[in-house]
A and B are shown apart, each in its own frame.
Chain A
């Protein structure tokens, strides 16, 4: 079973809901090791994405059109570093999804492109307590699942599980990149907010694939 534009639209809606629900939690994580605005910034961004999609006279016909709107809106509306990071991720993802439906390899390509966009912009590597610590294992898991012949939904599920584990793994890490690195050793003991929001976004992608019916 392949994924189409209906899935992409549902993914965006579920992400917006998820981010709204977790807004305070994300902000609290960011307050401890960052500048305390990640939840609000991301909520503002995805609220604006929903508003933009809702205001369209004609709904997008392809996945890449949806992702492009997500990208440009996040870059415009999210004030912090996560705006250009997620914005570039979705922009690069849009470039590889200009096709009607995604099979398993298409899902892998989407996730790989997103990770490339994040590393191109943020220059972070795994182990530095950033969102890369969620994205990198997600991509690895997706590649393995697709290689084993899993369908797109299961590939997404594998990616989301790995992202959740990856996000949890950032808790003991000492940040060496991004705002939290200013804190040095004191950044240990809290989950990275960017990795936490990555977990939400990929979890929403799985639920969108399940709920689409």
Chain B
């Protein structure tokens, strides 16, 4: 993906299939991710066919078929516990035509789903969406590693470049009562992903919903918005304007 990435479609090409031992967990995570990425098809596959705790082959197969209903659709599959992985692998082994267009990722179920959904909403392809899910696993790992967490590659490239060379930088006060929490963070990340310019918010990747949330920027806190390269000033102005505008949360 590059600065010439196409604008997000009404429904993103990459879909998510969420496989959990519990129907409630799969549906709940879909519900949460859907709020942050309304343009992504999220298909839950939770519990056994008779409503119990576990994972079911047909449920997973049906969910994959539902996710891949368009000829050009692809799917990232997230799982919770061990036997959910085995069930997905069994389905993919038995159904090669589904396996061709699917990617089973090793990622934390909730954080991975949110990160992948927002990236998919931004128009990321299968590789980029899968990577954003897997990267989510390194973000909430050992306590204290946050300061050294690498800026992930995303649909708009690495935010590391933003500090170097010709660039633009502005500070802005966060007006939202709850700060840059989940939903406004998702709105911001989607917007940044659509700009096609690498933007950082307080040094973290502005296109990553998880990194923005992890800043813990509360109401009244000041954050620094940086960008570099062509369109940097316009991008920074747009992001500052969006934050000042409350990101739909005021």
A residues lining the B interface (CB < 8 Å): 37, 41, 72, 75-81, 83-85, 87-88, 91, 120-122, 178-179
A83 to B85, CA, bound (A): 12
Partner of A79, one of B48, B82, B93: B48
Taking A88-B93, A91-B93, A91-B94 as contacts, is the C-beta distance between A76 and B86 under 8 angstroms?
A: no
Contact B90 A88 (CB under 8 A): yes
Contact A84 B87 (CB under 8 A): yes
B residues lining the A interface (CB < 8 Å): 21, 48-49, 52-58, 82-83, 86-87, 89-91, 93-94
A88 to B95, CA, bound (A): 12
Return chain A residues, CB-CB under 8 Å to B90. 75, 84, 87-88, 91, 121
Which residue of chain B has its CB nearest to the CB of A74? B57
Partner of A75, one of B21, B53, B57, B82: B57
Return chain B residues, CB-CB under 8 Å to A179. 82
Partner of B86, one of A77, A85, A91: A85
Return chain B residues, CB-CB under 8 Å to A85. 86
Contact B82 A87 (CB under 8 A): no
Partner of B57, one of A37, A87, A121: A87
A204 to B42, CA, bound (A): 43
Which of B48, B54, B83, B94: most chain A Cβ within 10 A?
B83
Contact A81 B57 (CB under 8 A): no
A5 to B87, CA, bound (A): 28
Taking A76-B49, A76-B56 as contacts, is the C-beta distance between A81 and B82 under 8 angstroms?
A: yes
Taking A83-B57, A88-B93, A91-B93 as contacts, is the C-beta distance between A121 and B52 under 8 angstroms?
A: no
Contact B86 A121 (CB under 8 A): yes
**Would you give 14 A-B contacts (Cβ < 8 Å), ordered by A?**
A37-B54, A72-B57, A72-B94, A75-B87, A75-B91, A78-B54, A83-B54, A83-B57, A83-B86, A83-B87, A84-B57, A91-B93, A178-B82, A179-B82
Contact B54 A79 (CB under 8 A): yes
Which of A75, A87, A122: most chain B Cβ within 10 A?
A75
A72 to B52, CA, bound (A): 18
